[in-house]
A and B are shown apart, each in its own frame.
Chain A
Amino acid sequence: MKTTRVPAAARARAGFTILELVIGLVILGLLLANVGMVLRSSTAAFEAGALSGALENQLEQTMDRIELAIMSSDGEDLAPSAPLSASIIDYERCLGVEDGELVLDDPERIELVLGSGQVVWTQNPEAAGERRVVWTRWVPEYLELELPNGADDNDNGVIDEGGLAFDLDGKQVSIRLTLEREDERSTRYARTRESRVTCRN
């Protein structure tokens, strides 16, 4: 039998076989696909985090504004009490005391404007010199997990409350606010905050 011997120098110069190249390319392809998937999911996670963070910041800022406004107001006849709630509150801030009497500022209103989903602060509502400022957008019609069915779906003691809801317990007002946004993939992000504020006056 005749055998062919390949010299050592020729073996050293030899390239990859087709099979080796194919295996290498497949492994490289798999690796690149994995890297691509990791990058895509990390980008999605980053975008979701950024959107959630922006939503939480907006929620915190809006709640702080509402709390400060109500905290300094006169605590009588502000809103109906639980299980009823209101998406509007009228109040007057206390500026101080003069001759033993409270001195109150111009009337103000905080309300949820349905349709536009805006929380609007109004000074001198429905009167001369009315001034309106939008404090936030992205407020849904109903609070997170609440449905318009006459039941307390989110188990918070209030029925069918709006995306912005006030209810009164003595001199204390419970404030509930949900902000909701969709990203480019139509994924919904909702954040809800509930806080209680006691009127100081």
Chain B
Amino acid sequence: MVAVAILTVCVSLLSSTISSTVAHTAVRRERTLALVAAKNVLEDMHKADFGQLFALYNHEPADDPQGESTAPGPHFEVPGLTARAGDSDGFVGEIVFSTPAPPLLENAQDSRLGLPRDLDGDHVVDGEDHSTDYIVLPVSLRLEWASRAGDGVLELTTMFADLSKP
């Protein structure tokens, strides 16, 4: 009886180890998918005209450069990942600027994006709209998905800049 009990405990320990290893592998795979998707979106943003980045990827469809609702917008899907059940937009990924729509403010309070900071290179942090004259553009990519091990989150923050001489 004792031997059977010990054997049962051992087998259950072994099987729980295997199942947690499999779950860990799945979570790692999900994170890799999220990271690759985020990098691809950043590369798409690199391809776009720098001066139009904010207009292309903000929440405001009216300022899209090619006409209303023609730009990719702030949300993106990630193949292989599913948005969380209660997600408001139903997408895994979102591109976050200091302000979601014009005006683009450099005095916004967002330490994650390094704001407030001078966005138009005039050495002054003011409360004006800089959606058309920024020379640096802090941006964050936030990905949230339903994972096998709870909710998965990945956030990448970077800054686009156009500092070339006129």
Contact = CB atoms under 8 A, between A and B. Distances in A.
Given A56-B32, A60-B32, A196 B11 contact: no
B57 to A, nearest CB: 15
B22 A49 contact: yes
Interface residues of A, number: 23
The dominant DSSP class at the B interface is helix
A172 interface: yes
B47 interface: yes
Interface in B1-19: 4, 7, 11, 14-15, 18
A174 B7 CA distance: 53
Nearest to B3: A28
B18 A196 contact: no
B11 A35 contact: yes
A25 B17 CA distance: 29
A45 B17 CA distance: 12
B156 interface: no
Contacts of B70: none
B154 interface: no
B132 interface: no
A154 interface: no
Given A49-B21, A49-B22, A31 B32 contact: no
Contacts of A34: 11
A171 interface: yes
A198 interface: yes
The dominant DSSP class at the A interface is helix
A38 B32 contact: no
Contacts of A195: 36, 39-40, 43
Nearest to A41: B18
B25 interface: yes
A26 to B, nearest CB: 13
A59 to B, nearest CB: 9
A200 B36 CA distance: 19
A196 B25 contact: no
A171 B4 CA distance: 66
B46 A200 contact: yes
A196 B40 CA distance: 5
Contacts of B7: 31, 35
Contact of A172 (B14, B15, B21, B47): B47
A42 B18 contact: yes
B41 to A, nearest CB: 9
Given A35-B11, A172-B47, A197-B43, 7 more contacts: A31-B7, A35-B7, A38-B11, A49-B22, A195-B40, A196-B43, A198-B46
7 contacts: A38-B14, A39-B14, A52-B25, A193-B36, A198-B44, A198-B46, A198-B47
